[in-house]
Amino acid sequence: MVRLFLSGDGPQSRILGAVLLLILFALAFAPFLFPGTRSLETAARICIFIVLVASYDLLLGYAGIVSFAHTMFFGMGAYGVALATRNMGTGYDALIIGTLGGTALAAAFALLIALFSLRVRAIFFAMITLAIASAVAVLVSQLSGITGGEDGLNIRIPRELTPAFRPFDGPVMGVNITGRHLNYYLVFFSCLIMFLIMLRVVNSPFGRVLQAIRENAFRAEAIGYRVVLYRALATVLSAAMAALAGAVFAIWLRYVGPATTLGVEIMLDILLIVVIGGMGTMYGAVVGTAVFVLAQNYLKDWMGGASEATSFLPLVPDLLNPDRWLLWLGILFILSVYFFPTGIVGRLRGKL
């Protein structure tokens, strides 16, 4: 049964299997294991970014396509929900129509970019996607009457998904359940389903062809595969999944703006997570995202505690000053690339 859910793509390592089970368990029971607003926010962000990173790895790791427009598709899904709720109200129909509309727009945009640009060399395609993504980000910032400009848009969602809704009179397993928790499980199960879909895609004949094209496009075309068509389909699927992740992110955050969905920093984070987790493996998105988001959210706190604990030592407290957390995050990234050149998952799969 488990093998069926994983599309025959098991962890191939006891250590990796244990890590994946730990992450799944922690995310599934996050509201009860780690009560608190910050912990729930971190868990939701991990779920959403797992899908976003996995969708990008489908493009980069499996199809061998370098794109810098992935946050553009992420933003289309988020803005689709925001604009739908702005014009249709707080109903579930607005969320569904906004999600489908943003996803359809992202898929159409991706298809146009792919058909007009995938025939050029990889570096030129990457530059084209960067230019288009930058243009869209500027356009969103300037169309303040529609998109809210730099201030963004607040999103109205049904009351059942907000903290004001309390479905139970008393606590459940020691936690007072609110609509925020229901919203979290909407995020969790949506992201789980999307991840399993992508896992099935990469382990299907379509995914095998993409890997063949990645390894040698000329040979794949010589034996009869239409390389541009397969790459275009991979681009569309990747964009659609990114847009769905953006829609879920907007519903969770209840806000969308250029900085939260279209920023260059998000694209850089995606690239870093793919490298840390391991390219060409869906599980790399899971492990890489968990490591990166936890470090991003808690490294500063851990350093503050370490700085206080070593206050009696010379120089060490200054090195561990929380203000230097970005320096240590960079060092951790360099060390992960050095010791795990194929990513954490690639290294763990080499162990039994």
Q: Is the pLDDT of residue 92 over 60?
A: yes
Tell me which of 75-84, 170-179, 180-189, 224-233 is least confident.
Answer: 170-179
Q: Model confidence over 157-209: pLDDT tens digits? A: 999 988 888 888 777 877 888 899 999 999 999 999 999 999 999 999 999 99
First to last CA, the chain: 22
The average pLDDT across 95-105 equals 95
Write down the pTM of the prediction. 0.92
Query: What integer pLDDT is reported at residue 121 of this predicted model?
Result: 66
Q: Model confidence over 266-302: pLDDT tens digits? A: 998 999 899 889 888 899 999 999 999 998 888 877 8
Average pLDDT, the chain: 87
The average pLDDT across 26-41 equals 90
Partners of residue 236 on adjacent β-strands = none
Structure confidence at residue 352 as a pLDDT band (50, 70, 90): very low
